[in-house]
Amino acid sequence: MATFDEGLLLGILIGEGHFGGDGKQPQVTLRMHTRHLRLFETLLRLCPGSKLYGPYEHGGRRYYQWMARGEVLRETLLPILERLPLQEIDAHVYERYSEMKLRYGL
């Protein structure tokens, strides 16, 4: 993955991402307004196998939800995140990421 792509991925996940799960499996989720469709298309390209859901409308807000879980999370996204200096850039996000990994045995 190109350096720019890694930076884009890291930046968007730090700013807008959620690291958690559904109780059975871990997932990284990103929810943003529908006007960001091109950005979501880029994420789909950077993480083949990730999914885009929506558009949804709730409470007057129109949004898409991007999700990486299962094989794409373990085989594609986690190796990228492990290479990047997440802990040095944002301790709070790194803590959430680490909690997800611990909770789900990653």
Rounded CA separation 92/7 (Å)? 18
pLDDT at residue 6 is higher than 90? no
- 3: confidence class by pLDDT, cuts 50, 70, 90: confident
Residue 13 has pLDDT above 80, yes or no: yes
How do residues 38-60 score in pLDDT, each as one tens digit? 999 999 999 999 999 999 999 99
* Number of other residues whose CB lies within 10 A of the CB of residue 83: 11
What's the topology of domain 3-103? Answer: Endonuclease I-creI (3.10.28)
| CA 4 – CA 14 distance, rounded (Å) | 15
Asked whether the predicted pLDDT for residue 1 surpasses 80, the reply is no
Residue pair 63/56 in contact (Cβ under 8 Å)? The answer is yes
pLDDT digits 0-9 by tens, 15-28: 999 999 999 999 99
Q: Is the pLDDT of residue 84 over 90?
A: no
For range 53-73, the mean pLDDT:
95
Which residue ranges make up each domain of the chain?
3-103
Q: How confident is the model at residue 62, as a pLDDT?
A: 96
CA dist., res. 16 & res. 1, Å (int): 21
Radius of gyration of the chain (CA): 13
Per-residue confidence band for 2, with pLDDT thresholds at 50, 70 and 90: confident
Side chain identity, residue 84: L
